[in-house]
């Protein structure tokens, strides 16, 4: 007896569909709605036990990644031991094919069917670690504060082109306290991030390994740790490069399509920006990457293509040092 569950998660409630498969025969599916809060999780647990759902490897719950709304579900599954797969929303949507109509109940039923069809390939999410949740929230808070600061600076710069000097001084004085407050908030958040990294031994260990790689600084290392859940799933370098949108893929088919290899538009843009800045820094300060960049440009490669190759190298080396649990060794320097 196996149980396949699909859940559509929203801000206020969750819709769940349960289908039991007994001796390879599907039984009628059951759908119910619960509040997305602590009381709702308790009611959900009672409902699952009522329908004899097993909280072990014979069950699988599939949800879409909703950012913050699915955290209670993730926490509940981590405590009870119910296997949970958090899937990419776009990937799951495309797997449905041509789908007409949409509501929460139908979405939960489609996710249940998706769990049944792909159970052999789906991996259960790791246990929710509260430290990572706080770390991700801190990184998000820092990004939002930076965006606000830059927005004010851009606004003041645009006004300066048309305003009189007297009016500009008044407006800048009005925004001065806000800018100073945002800067202080950014410093506070960064101090909290540094403190959290130092307090957790597992995070600190992987952080030290990451910053040993040329082109990876403090923020890039912390962001990679957040994206990979501290490498708990043992990802490959190619997977991280693909996730960041720096891994090139082929674009050929038959005799009519003969496109050049290129990166995919679906990527984590924040991680891609951090890797880009790291690549520029590595090309500037490290002879290995500088010589590589100059050699490839002389061979006729486009500058941005070479920079992307450096970004991919940095991502793959980041995964290598963590998987091997050894700091980066500059063999290029040794050879020289």
> What confidence score (pLDDT) does residue 162 get?
83
Mean pLDDT of the chain: 91
For the residues 262-267, what does the mean pLDDT come to? 84
pLDDT tops 70 at residue 336: no
pLDDT tens digits, 196-209: 999 889 999 999 99
For the residues 165-186, what does the mean pLDDT come to? 92
| Residue 259: band (very low, low, confident or very high) from pLDDT cuts 50, 70, 90 | confident
pLDDT tens digits, 107-148: 999 999 999 999 999 989 888 888 888 999 999 999 999 999
> What confidence score (pLDDT) does residue 335 get?
60
CATH architecture of 2-117: 2-Layer Sandwich (3.30)
| Residue 285: band (very low, low, confident or very high) from pLDDT cuts 50, 70, 90 | very high
> What confidence score (pLDDT) does residue 211 get?
95
pLDDT tens digits, 291-332: 999 999 999 999 999 999 999 999 999 999 999 999 998 877
Give the per-residue SS3 of the chain: CEEEEEEEECCCEEEEEEEEEECCEECCCEEEEEECCHHHHHHHHHHHHHCCCCCCCCEEEEEECCCCCCHHHHHHHHHHCCCEEEECHHHHHHHCCCCCCCCHHHHHHHHHHHHHHCCCCCCCCCCCCHHHHHHHHHHHHHHHHHHHHHHHHHHHHHHHCCCCHHHHHHHHHHHHHHHHHHHHHHHHHHHHHHHHHHHCHHHHHHHHHHHCCCCCCHHHHHHHHHHCCCCCCCCCHHHHHHHHCCCCEEEEECCCEEEEEECCCCCCHHHHHHHHHHHHHHHHHCHHHHHHHHHHHHCCCCHHHHHHHHHHHHHHHHHHHHHHCCCCCCHHHHHC
pTM of the entire predicted model: 0.84
For the residues 157-174, what does the mean pLDDT come to? 88
Domain ranges of the chain: 2-117, 130-199, 220-335
> What confidence score (pLDDT) does residue 14 get?
96
| Residue 334: band (very low, low, confident or very high) from pLDDT cuts 50, 70, 90 | low
| Residue 248: band (very low, low, confident or very high) from pLDDT cuts 50, 70, 90 | confident
For the residues 222-243, what does the mean pLDDT come to? 90
């Amino acid at each position: 007896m196996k149980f396949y569950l699909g859940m559509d998660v929203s801000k206020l409630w969750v819709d769940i569909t349960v289908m039991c498969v007994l001796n390879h025969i599907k039984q009628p599916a059951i759908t119910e709605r619960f509040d997305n809060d602590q009381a709702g999780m308790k009611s959900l647990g009672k409902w699952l036990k009522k329908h004899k759902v097993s909280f072990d490897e014979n069950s699988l719950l599939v949800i879409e990644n909703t950012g913050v709304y699915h955290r209670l579900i993730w926490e509940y599954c981590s405590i009870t031991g119910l296997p949970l797969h958090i899937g990419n929303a776009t990937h799951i949507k495309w797997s449905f094919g041509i789908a007409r109509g949409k509501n929460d109940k139908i979405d939960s039923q489609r996710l249940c069917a998706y769990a049944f069809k792909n159970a052999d390939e789906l991996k259960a999410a790791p246990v929710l670690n509260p430290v990572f949740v706080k770390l991700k929230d801190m990184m998000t808070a820092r990004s939002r504060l930076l965006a606000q600061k830059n927005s004010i600076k851009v606004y003041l710069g645009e006004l300066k082109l048309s305003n009189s000097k007297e009016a500009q001084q008044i407006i800048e004085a009005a925004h001065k306290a806000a800018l100073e407050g945002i800067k202080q908030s950014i410093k506070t958040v960064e101090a909290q991030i540094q403190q959290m990294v130092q307090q957790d031994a597992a995070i600190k260990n992987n952080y030290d390994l990451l910053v040993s790689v040329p082109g990876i600084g403090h923020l890039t290392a912390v962001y990679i740790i957040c994206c990979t859940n501290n490498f708990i799933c043992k990802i490959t370098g190619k997977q991280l490069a693909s996730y960041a949108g720096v891994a090139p893929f082929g674009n050929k088919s038959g005799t009519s399509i003969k496109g050049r290899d290129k990166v995919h538009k679906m990527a984590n843009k924040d991680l891609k920006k951090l890797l880009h800045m790291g690549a520029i820094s590595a090309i500037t300060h490290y002879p290995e990457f500088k010589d590589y960049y100059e050699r490839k440009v002389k061979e006729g490669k486009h500058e941005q293509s070479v920079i992307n190759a450096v970004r991919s190298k940095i991502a793959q080396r980041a995964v290598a040092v963590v998987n091997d649990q050894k700091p980066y060794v500059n063999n290029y320097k040794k050879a020289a």
